Amino acid sequence: MSNDLDTNGNLHGDSSLLSRVLPKSFYEPFISDLTKRRIEDPIRALLPLEDRPGVISLLAGKPNADTFPITSLQFTLRDPLTNEEVPVSLSEDELARSLQYSGSKGVPDLLDWLIGLQEFSHGRKRGEGWDLAFGTGSSDLIYKAVNAILNSGDVALIEAPVYAGVIPMFHAIGAEMLEVGGDQYGIDAKGLRETLENWPTDKPKPKVLYTVPYGCNPTGVTSTLERRLEVLELARKHNFLILEDDPYYYLYFGDAPRPPSYFELERDQPEVGRVIRFDSLSKVLSSGMRIGFISAPQPIIDAVVLHTMNSNLQPPTFTQVLSLRMLKFWGYDKLRAHVDRVAEFYRTKRDVFEGLMHKYLAGLAEWNTPEAGMFFWFKLKLPGSESSGAAADEGDSEAVIRTEALEHGVLALPGTVFHPSGRKTTYVRASFSLLPEDQVEEALRRLREVILRTRGEAAAQ
């Protein structure tokens, strides 16, 4: 059963909000042809009935867990408040469950816990017109949501520069990617407004806007509240859905109070149900466990789960049971304490990196200080790139970064890979998450030499 329906199939929750929730029929034109052709896996569709009290199931071809060789599982968990390492083990039942098939949407008690997390973090109450599904990392869910909505030829607005990992997803569908630029305050809502207001009358309007609102990968920028509200207003006015990809939400370390997420903000909008939110615990719990979840209106959740049924059947039960054990052991407050510590860790890393950027790249590069996430996005001052205004991005970091920097033993990403159009840019993305100070220093010293050489200047040190 979906989280927003009671046993009679009715929505429940705050009535003033429910009157603003978009109806199911609203999503019909947003669903892709591929999704409309998908049919349910007849076995998986019946799996939830196995949990009905009194039912004896002869349904699924589940292997007998007694034959599995793993007999127990213990691990230690660092307490975020005391730093103490606490032993945790799975009970016999939990272990048996973790090693078995489970539903395509996710393990019910984990889904329930995560819905509670969305209430805790974003103030979106259960039953207020949204639901949640678990995925194999947020990438899995972004891929499925993009496929659920877009047909070949549909237009997708993409905040650019953009996380390079999503470009192939839109590309494979044959969607037209229209770049929406930004600055240190986030997405360029004014430019977006102009684009939409001057949209050709004979061309269908964009179906979605993809954005990374906190610590955007690659720019490190967090969109301000004003920008977010403007984008929400544009979504309503020009009828598009917002794909809010937010893996750095819990890595916000800016000095200003954190702006609310789009998912939170839309609760007070005249219409509720345009935001499709992707969360990931990759950056704060483990990237290898692949913990991602989508919070979205029911028809979008249904389309994504149907895709899972048709492809990988389900996200791993093992990961889900293990995550649930950890998360329940902590509770929401301790999870918050943990992520705050992680954010503080990255703030320190950022400060070290930036200090060394000043030492080695002052006058050779320009950047804004990131307030979330794990990247510096900086513009190299290469020959031909120092003009201002509209031509400010002329020049190209690609050869310098891909060839010369690599020959000098530094690996970073040239900015061009973050533009769906593949356009030239003098920007570079450098990650500050992993390296110790001495290695950051050496990397930036080498980069300095490379830039000086490219500029035809002798290395100063």
Sites of contact with ligand PLP (CB under 6 A)? 137-139, 163, 165, 212, 217, 245, 247, 280, 282, 287, 292
Shortest Cβ 169–ligand PLP spacing (Å): 10
Give the residue with the Cβ less far from ligand PLP, 127 or 137: 137
Q: What is the closest distance, in whole angstroms, from the C-beta atom of residue 380 to ligand PLP in the complex? A: 22
SS3 144: helix
Distance CA 34, CA 338 (A): 41
Q: Residue 163 or 427: which CB sits closer to ligand PLP?
A: 163
Question: Residue 269 or 314: which CB sits closer to ligand PLP?
Answer: 314
Which of 205-227 are b and which e, b meaning 16 or more Cβ less than 10 Å from the residue's Cβ?
ebbbbbbbbbbbbbbbbbbbeeb
Residue 438: CB minimum distance to ligand PLP, A: 25
- The rounded distance, in Å, linking the Cα atoms of 109 and 111 is 5
Report yes or no: 142 and 166 within 8 Å, Cβ to Cβ. Answer: yes
CB of 275 to ligand PLP, least distance (A): 16
Give the separation between CA 142 and CA 459, rounded to whole angstroms.
45
- Give dist(CA 24, CA 410) in Å, integer: 51
C-alpha torsion angle, residues 414, 417, 423, 428 (rounded to 10): -30
d(CA 224, CA 242): 16
Q: How many CB atoms lie within 10 A of CB 428?
A: 25
The minimum distance between CB 52 and ligand PLP, in angstroms, equals 33
Contacts of 250 (CB under 8 A, 6+ apart): 281, 283, 284, 339, 342, 343
Q: CB of 271: closest distance to ligand PLP in angstroms?
A: 26
To ligand PLP, the closest distance from the beta carbon of 23 in angstroms equals: 30
308 SS3 class: helix
Min dist. Cβ of residue 138 to ligand PLP (A)? 4
Q: Give the pair of three-digit tokens for residue 133.
A: 């599904």
Shortest reach from residue 214's CB to ligand PLP, in Å: 10
Report long-range pairs for 452-455 (Cβ below 8 Å, ≥24 apart): 452/364, 453/404, 454/382, 454/383, 454/400, 454/404, 455/364, 455/381, 455/382, 455/383
User: Which two three-digit tokens encode residue 367?
Assistant: 């950047």
Nearer to ligand PLP, 162 or 440 (CB): 162
Output 4 or 159, the one with its CB closest to ligand PLP: 159
To the nearest whole angstrom, how small is the minimum distance from the Cβ of residue 98 to ligand PLP?
20
**In this structure, what token pair is assigned to residue 357?**
């950027």
Q: Which CB sits closer to ligand PLP, 217 or 308?
A: 217
DSSP state of 208: E
Give whichever of 267 and 277 is closer to ligand PLP, judged by the CB atom: 277
What CA–CA distance (Å, rounded) separates 445 from 424? 25
Closer residue to ligand PLP, CB minimum distance, 100 or 282: 282
For residue 101, give Cα distances in angstroms to 39, 64, 211, 318.
20, 11, 34, 9
State the amino acid at position 148 in one-letter form: A
Neighbouring residues of 185: CB distance < 8 A, sequence distance ≥ 6: 221, 223, 224, 226, 227
Query: In the complex with ligand PLP, which residue's Cβ is closer, 180 or 364?
Result: 180
Nearer to ligand PLP, 287 or 369 (CB): 287
217 vs 261 by CB, closer to ligand PLP: 217
| CB 281, min distance to ligand PLP, A | 8
The CA radius of gyration of the chain, in Å to the nearest whole number, is 24
